[in-house]
């Protein structure tokens, strides 16, 4: 009986969370958004229904984006440079960015929600890791996958 208030509070929080997720999906419609991607000097565009993180759209479109945390914003490997659109840098991203990267409009693809047309540049993954090591933001304990073709 002593745990009843805790269980009730957790159920209330769960219901509120579910209602917020449903409201976000049903009430907020970003419409069709165009994503323009520059990688290795090539530029490609594709259209998506807005509202999801950039990382999920890039993976669906066949781009290889490293993300050892699975898009939870805890590894910092999915950095892209946003040249148009994208909005403000989120507090969850700041810990992974140096001052130079912030000035260069770098974002974590897993944290950047597509709300309108966006233009990005996907940097070379080794440049990202070098910059993280240089700025002491690299955590060697994190598992990550590098694919070399």
Check residue 80 and give its pLDDT: 93
Check residue 25 and give its pLDDT: 74
Same domain, yes or no, for 4 and 20?
yes
Residue 147 covered by a domain:
no
Check residue 61 and give its pLDDT: 94
Please list the pLDDT of the chain residue by residue as tens digits (149 residues): 678 889 999 999 999 999 998 887 777 778 899 999 998 889 999 999 988 999 999 999 999 888 888 888 888 889 999 999 988 999 999 998 888 889 999 999 999 999 999 999 998 777 777 777 777 766 655 555 544 44
Structural domain including 123 reads 31-134
Q: What is the CATH number of the domain that holds 41?
A: 3.10.20.30
Task: Kindly write down the DSSP assignment for every residue of the chain, as one continuous string.
Answer: -TTHHHHHHHHHHHHHHHHHHHHHHHH----EEEEEEEETTEEEEEEEESSSBHHHHHHHTT-----TTSSSSSS---EEEEEES--SPPHHHHTT--HHHHHTTEEETTT-B--S-EEEEE--HHHHHHHHHHTT---TTS-------
Check residue 30 and give its pLDDT: 81
Same domain, yes or no, for 70 and 17?
no
Same domain, yes or no, for 48 and 103?
yes
Same domain, yes or no, for 72 and 109?
yes
Check residue 125 and give its pLDDT: 73
Same domain, yes or no, for 103 and 67?
yes
**Are 107 and 78 a contacting pair, CB within 8 Å?**
no
Same domain, yes or no, for 40 and 111?
yes
Same domain, yes or no, for 22 and 90?
no
Check residue 68 and give its pLDDT: 81
């Amino acid at each position: 009986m002593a745990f009843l208030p805790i269980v009730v509070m957790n159920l209330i929080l769960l219901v509120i969370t579910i209602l917020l997720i449903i409201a976000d999906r049903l009430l907020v419609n970003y419409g069709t958004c165009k994503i323009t991607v520059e990688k290795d000097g090539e530029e490609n565009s594709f259209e998506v229904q807005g509202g999801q993180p950039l990382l999920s759209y890039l993976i669906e479109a066949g781009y290889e984006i490293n993300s050892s945390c699975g898009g939870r914003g805890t590894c910092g490997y999915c950095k892209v440079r946003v040249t148009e659109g994208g909005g403000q840098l989120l507090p969850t991203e700041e810990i992974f960015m140096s001052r130079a990267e912030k000035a260069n409009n770098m974002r974590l693809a897993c944290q950047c929600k597509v709300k309108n047309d966006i233009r990005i540049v996907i940097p070379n993954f080794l440049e990202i890791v070098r910059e993280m090591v240089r700025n002491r933001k690299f955590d060697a304990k994190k598992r990550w996958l590098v694919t070399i073709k």
